[in-house]
Amino acid sequence: MASLWGGRFEKDMDEIVKEFNASIFFDQRMYNEDIDGSIAHVTMLGKQGIVTEEEAQQIIGGLEEIRSEIAAGKIQFTVDDEDIHMGIESRLIEKIGEVGKKLHTARSRNDQCQVDGRLYLKRQIREILGELARLEQVILDKAEQYAEDITVGFTHIQHAQPITVGFLFMAYFQMFRRDMERLQDTLKRMDLNPLGACALAGTTLPTDRFLTTELLGFRAPTENAMDSVSDRDYSLEFLSDASISMMHISRWAEEFAWWNSSEFSYIAIDDSYCTGSSIMPQKKNPDMAELLRGKCGRVYGDMMQLFTVMKGTPLAYNKDFQEDKESLFDAVDTWKACIRIFAGMLEKTEFRMDMIQKQLGKGFLNATDIAEHLAKQGIPFREAHSIVGRMVKACEHKGCDFDGLSDEDLRAIDPRVSTEVLGDISIPACVDARTSFGGTAPSEVRRQIQVGREWLHHVMQAEKETE
């Protein structure tokens, strides 16, 4: 197949160069976006009188036939197609003849690939927002289920304070909420139409970029043609969003791996999300959690790959930019799959409250609550902090918890302290008392859940209205 750009060349490309140069084997996934962009473009050419209305309709008909043929698997692209843009255009010319050669008037592959990329990513972002919304719904339901169940809160991987399981779930809810908000912000910034920027400087032909903007559902046309064809910020921003979100998944997956261990036994992951050992018949491995943790590094790599490609590229277009697609596609596929897998695993995981209960007596989880209780009795907090520290030391010497200290023990530490002064220092009482805004008390967790449900409902309603 003769190249559509080879007029000034005397030789064909070497076969190994063709293979090295081609992007068709990965960018063909954007055939729908490419055809949508071409239909909008030729519609505009017809309205502007750059081609006749009859020619425009003939081209549109040919493009729709090609779309159907690709979807049905009747078209197999080869290295000679070079990329999805040339692959579709060459078949259009074969199908409808000379008039097909008018499609590329007033555009370049430079702006064409940008149109395809932005349309593709807009669709993918909306799908990923849907997956994140489902994950958030699972988190809210689980938080409701475990709103009153108490577990161990850690700092420095050590027992710190008692919290509810629902409180922990709502902490992750906030992380994924920010992930969704970042994606929404990215979508706003990238929702600009580069079509008509051409190679880098616009065109002398009387095009209407506002019409193609409306036809393709963009918010506005891009302002500067040179920036339009050389910009990959939207892909980098998406990859950054993906990396942050995958880090959140990896953090929770790490906790799943801990909690599933024999040392913790905090959770029971459903068999459908675990694997066994080929040699140890007793094993039930949290492989999905571990794989989710590992996939995070893959998406980080996708982000760094594109940052590295872009860092030394002068204006305007450079062939380096062809390397923007594989990392983007990989991150889209990986992130989407990980959200879906994680939501399913989370939904089918139950907390073993009987095993967690055994851990609540370790590590003096209520120490901070006692210090705060003493502060409420008028003892300066720094003094209260020191008193409780000495109480811990006394417990360690006696081999008991706080409730094992007698009035004599307490007065030896500080005459202002007694069992009567301490009052109810049980773990449930401490958790119930943490009613500060954003705290772990069940009543406050339920407030957070309600706010979360209202926010998620509003987001999903807004998404439906934009479809």
Task: Enumerate the active-site residues.
Answer: 156, 277
Residue type, 441: A
Which DSSP letter does residue 70 get? H
What is the chain's alpha carbon radius of gyration, rounded to the nearest angstrom?
Answer: 30
Identify the helix (H) or strand (E) that includes residue 158.
Answer: strand 158-164
Q: Which residues, 6+ apart, have CB-to-CB distance to 111 below 8 Å? A: 194, 195, 196, 197, 198, 199, 225, 228, 229
- Pairing, β 192-193 against β 150-155: unpaired
Cα(245)–Cα(233) distance, integer angstroms? 18
What the block records as the tokens of 237 is: 């921003």
Neighbours of 314 (CB within 10 A): 6
What is the rounded distance in angstroms from the CA atom of residue 167 to the CA atom of residue 150?
9
| Beta partners for residue 164, in sequence order | 150
Q: Which residue has the tokens 């030391």?
A: 393
Q: Which two tokens stand for residue 103?
A: 């499609």
Return the structure tokens found at 43: 């519609």
Distance CA 90, CA 110 (A): 17
